[in-house]
Amino acid sequence: MAQSTSISPSIVPRLTPKAGDRNMTQEAKTQIRPSKGFPGLANWIARDPDNESFIFRKFKALSARNLLHLQAELIILESEINELDQEALDGSDSDKVASIMRYETLLERAQDKANMNEFERRLMKKLRVLKVRIKEYHEALCLQLQVNSMSSPRQRPRDALRVYLQGPLMKPHGETESRTLPRIHGGTYDILEETFQDDLVALVKSIEDDYLSRLLQDHWSPGSSNYAFVSEHDLSDQTRIFRNTKIIRTVAILNMIMAGILLIGAIVHLHFVVNANVKLGLVAMYTMFFASSMVLCTNARRAETFAATATYAAVLVVFVSGDLSSTSNG
């Protein structure tokens, strides 16, 4: 299943039978062995070169509970260390005071087997536990920050995964009605339930993330076999991966047409308008159209959108100013 690196396939649910399925002989049907279990699901997830199928639960509640437990352990440990420090300061033992004042002394007395005072050993033991616990806590915080920054999966890949997990519609031997045969069972099958919709994460960063590209991706019909392919190993797979080449080309063409209309079309339109007030109104209208196209058809950030819109408006204002000057002089 060779793919070009410039092609960005996306997964869509294909709810209609594949071509030729209805004419398939009974002998051919008996040879179909749907991929089941976690091996089949893993192969299906890995089949998408764009990685949109990498959808998993992030277990927000369990993650929060884990952080709370780690935090509670550190709070207890902090209290125990503070009690040992206070014990040294409140007592009359100068050796204890020296141990908390100088780390080398603490380390030396803790390692001295002849030292009958257990204070240094207890304090050193707590500090060693602190070193492990604080690292574990900080790593958990950093990992949770990364998980929280991940985006949720879009509806289209979720639907495709749901269709795949539900399995093909088949009539089991000895039964009169057809039913879906789930590919996996247990808790993993339920991850796409409404209860967990806010707990899903997509391990992919979309390159084409503008509104126009997403609209076409969600509603594009992969009718051409040149731009879509299905699983060669599982004929019962009701999903297909379609290549995003047509969408990329369509968006590029629409962007070029939009740019031509908003620049050349605006200048030509303004040239044939005589009334100055109407010209100013057209400048405002075309500027709003340009800003809207930047937001809807590109990945530009707000600062980039503002700068490009200001430049576009300046071009129109300069043209209108020159046109008005020539008209008044005439």
Query: What average pLDDT does the segment 25-48 reach?
Result: 67
Provide the pLDDT confidence category of residue 94 given band limits of 50, 70 and 90.
confident
188: pLDDT strictly greater than 50: yes
> Is the pTM of the predicted complex or chain greater than 0.85?
no
pLDDT, greater one: 293 or 220: 293
Cβ(47)–Cβ(62) below 8 Å = no
| Nearest CA among 62, 314, 72 for reference residue 196 | 62
pLDDT of residue 74: 97
**In terms of DSSP H, where are the helices of the chain?**
26-30, 37-46, 60-90, 94-101, 103-111, 119-149, 155-166, 211-219, 245-260, 266-271, 276-297, 302-329
pLDDT of residue 205: 75
**211-254 per-position pLDDT tens digit:** 888 788 777 655 544 444 455 556 567 777 776 677 778 888 88
* pLDDT above 90 as % of the chain: 22
The mean of the pLDDT values for the chain is: 78
pLDDT of residue 226: 41
- Tokens standing for 234? 């599982």
Report the interhelical angle of 245-260 vs 211-219 (nearest 10°): 140
pLDDT of residue 221: 57
pLDDT of residue 45: 86
Cβ(175)–Cβ(115) below 8 Å = no
Distance separating alpha carbons of residues 253 and 248, to the nearest angstrom = 9
Query: What average pLDDT does the segment 161-184 reach?
Result: 74
